Structure 1
Amino acid sequence: MIDILALPKAELHMHIEGSLEPAMLLELAARNGVAIPFATQAEVEAACEFQNLQTFLDLYYAGLTVMCGREDFTDVTYAYLRKAHEDAVKHAEMFISPQAHLRRGITFPTMMDGILEAMEAARQDFGITSGLILGLQRQFPEAEGFEVLEQARAYEDRVVGLGLGGPELGNPPSKFERVFAAARARGWKTMAHAGEEGGADYVREAVEILKVDRIDHGVRCEDDDDLVHLLAERQIPLTVCPLSNVRLKVFQDMAEHNIARLLRAGLAVTANSDDPPYFGGYVNDNYVACREALDLTDAELVQLAKNSFTASFLPQEEIARHLRSIDAAIAGAAAGE
């Protein structure tokens, strides 16, 4: 059995605001004088029992209010990258939700400069590379998305892509067709949360109308056989978050999850943590849960790890280097048996 904990991997679906560990949430609330409805780590953990996506988002948006100054964004981002490094993550592509901060008076440079400082520090300290994705919130008007693009102009070369998150129901991908076209014209990669709370039709809209490079979640694509075939044929990656899906009742338990079926159908699926403190695990926890509940073979776990790099927005030569490192790790493990 391969050591999946040590297997080199990338993480492509993780929200910086959603990486706030309970201890740091309380620490930043005290640092910034922000009132939150929790006094202890146990109370925060107890609140992480969700009925659906919206109940999670209510906590998520309340929690991120403790992030006020540049130092907060640095501390939160660096803490995640340190944890990711411990899980053998060699490259991470992370979401930030600018509107959640701009709407409460945090300036764009405050969040961006803080995050970019942490990304560089983690590269120097751990050797982990990272990319930043601006995640629009679909519950807000598309016009705000254009405002985010304008504010991001000064950081254009430091952003790898534009994403779309927030509550799916009532907010189809097509609502953001023009702003996604503008992001593509800027040379950015694009992706959208679809097929988590919304149906397979939302996944299709993201592919055919937004013309995304990746789908975040996408697990409900299985309800449309033609769509599954299309995703497999085009090798459009899905950044699946198994533990998140179970916590948010997309699946009742891991044994019901379809990541193994999608992988075996030839889709370019990857395993990610989404918002690790809220959903019970970082990326390695997701790999372990998949292996234990879904009987993934060593070859399939290796394929997930390889997919994580091929689905990334790294240059091709960097992807090839990481794939060789996976092969070397497997060969080294075999030689030691």
Structure 2
Amino acid sequence: MSTLEAFVSGLPKAELHLHIEGSLEPEQMFEFARRNGVSLPYESVADIRAAYEFSDLQDFLDIYYTGMNVLLTEQDFYELTEAYLRRVAGDAVRHVEIFFDPQAHTSRGVEFETVINGVTRALKFVGHELGISSKLIMCFLRHLSEEDAFNALASAEPFLHMIDGVGLDSSELGHPPSKFANVFSRATELGLKKVAHAGEEGPAEYVYEAIDILKVDRIDHGNRSLESEVLVKRLAEEQIALTVCPLSNLKLRVVSRLQDHPMKSMLDAGLLATINSDDPSYFGGYINDNYTRLATALELTEGDLVQCAKNSFTGSFLPSEKVKQFHSEIDSYASRKHT
């Protein structure tokens, strides 16, 4: 293990941009398919991995939704979430704020209750065992209508005690945040936190819309914010967190190589940028892989990585006293020698 890997391996961190369905590993996909009698268009794990060569976001989403078809029972969602938590516990992840896509399941006949009960049961019991706290964010699929999003929110209302926020994901281009102004307004009335994918493939204008129209608490991705100096200044002044996903950006060709990734520019501009894995099974790495590969490509210092880790807690929905505790833990860790 290199000095960099050793440092990252124990660095306390939070993950704020993780689609739980995107942590479905090929082996687990085959197991769930066998258990539930679902046919897959792949003959082997190797065939699935070979399919993970995407030309763009939509290409990825087509495969992503195919894999999702194996998730049918509460136990499936429990085991999916459990596997993710056990994996990132080894990456020194102390807090997670994960997304789930109920519309992608209810449209297949899977009850909302089945999904949320399986996910939250694992977050509660496995999270407690591993010392990982959590928040749960229900995302609206932006390629569907706002009416469909309202229906999803209505289905969620009996379970709001399990849900901390709403988000916006799926195909970005052609589906601006403003399309969902009314449902996000309703989410505000319900006391939910709000996030939205913006500025990944879509323009900087989508980031403005997410902030000014949806009134989001943070931006998921936000890479293209750097195209607007005015927006960069605003994000820095207001300390609106960006949940950046380096290996996802590489795999989906948002950047052609990691050496071109904007993370260093974000940090230098004073942005509250964080490192996350997005859909780790599909994009080739969990959170520590994102830290180490990006640090190598951009020659990030330990100080840069400490800042990213601190940002992950600052940008979380944890209470301020917990954020301070984690910051102190990071400082204590960083002061020690790591080999």
TM-score range, shorter chain: over 0.9
Aligned partner of 1:257 in structure 2 is 261
Whole-Å Cα distance in 1 between the matches of residues 273 and 128 of structure 2? 30
User: What is the TM-score when the length of structure 2 is the normalising length?
Assistant: 0.97
Q: Is the 8 A contact 1:26 1:39 kept in 2?
A: no
Which of the residues 11, 31, 38 maps onto 2:35?
A: 31
- Structure 1: 5+ residue stretches without partners: none
Q: Percent identity, please.
A: 49
Task: Write the distance in 1 (CA, Å) between the matches of 2:143 and 2:186.
Answer: 19
Letter of the structure 1 residue corresponding to residue 56 of structure 2: N
Q: Are the aligned partners of 2:85 and 2:127 in contact in 1 as well (CA < 8 Å)?
A: no
Q: Deviations over 1:229-269 (max 9, x none)?
A: 11111110000000000000000010011011111110000
Mapped partners of 2:267, 2:190: distance in 1: 32
Who is 1:122 aligned against? Answer: 126
Residue 170 of structure 1, aligned match among 167, 174, 187: 174
2:276 partner amino acid: N
Match of 1:50 in 2: 54
For residues 239-254 of structure 1, what are the structure 2 equivalents within 5 Å? 239-254=243-258
Corresponding residue number in structure 1 for 2:90? 86
The answer to whether the 8 A contact 1:51-1:248 is kept is: yes
Secondary structure of 1:24's aligned partner: helix
Deviation at 1:320, TM superposition (A): 1.3
What does residue range 142-157 of structure 1 map to in structure 2 within 5 Å? 142-157=146-161
In structure 1, what is the Cα distance between the partners aligned to 2:138 and 2:127?
20
Report how far residue 123 of structure 1 moved: 2.0
Shift of 1:118: 0.7
Q: Are the aligned partners of 1:242 and 1:257 in contact in 2 as well (CA < 8 Å)?
A: yes
Q: Is the 8 A contact 1:95 1:132 kept in 2?
A: yes
Aligned to 2:239: 235
Aligned 1:227-306 pairs, distance under 5 A? 227-306=231-310
Give the distance between the partners of 1:185 and 1:307, measured in 2 at CA.
28
Aligned length: 335
Local SS of the residue matching 2:292:
helix
1:286 corresponds to which letter in structure 2?
A: N
Letter in 1 for 2:258: M
What amino acid is the match of 1:75?
E
Q: CA deviation at 1:182?
A: 0.9
The residue that corresponds to 1:316 in the other structure is 320
Report the Cα distance in structure 1 between the residues aligned to 2:319 and 2:191, rounded to whole angstroms: 14
Distance across 2 between alignment mates of 1:101 and 1:8:
33
2:193 corresponds to 1:180? no
Match of 1:137 in 2: 141
Contact 2:272 2:311 in 1 (8 A): yes
Q: Could you tell me how far apart the structure 1 residues matched to 2:189 and 2:324 are?
A: 27
- Structure 1: 4+ residue segments shifted above 3 A: none
Post-superposition offset of 1:148: 1.4
Which amino acid in the other structure matches residue 78 of structure 1?
Answer: E
Shift in Å, 1:124: 2.6
TM-score, structure 1 as length reference: 0.97
2:105 equivalent to 1:108: no
Paired residue secondary structure (1:5): helix
CA distance in 2, matches of 1:247, 1:71: 30
Q: Which amino acid aligns with 1:124?
A: H
Q: What displacement does 1:184 show?
A: 1.2
1:280 counterpart letter in structure 2 = G
**Contact kept? 1:11, 1:93, Cα under 8 Å:** yes
1:163 aligned counterpart, secondary structure = strand
Shift of 1:104: 0.8
Read off the aligned partner of 1:277 and give its amino acid letter: S
- SS of 1:4's partner is helix
Matched, 1:63 2:67: yes
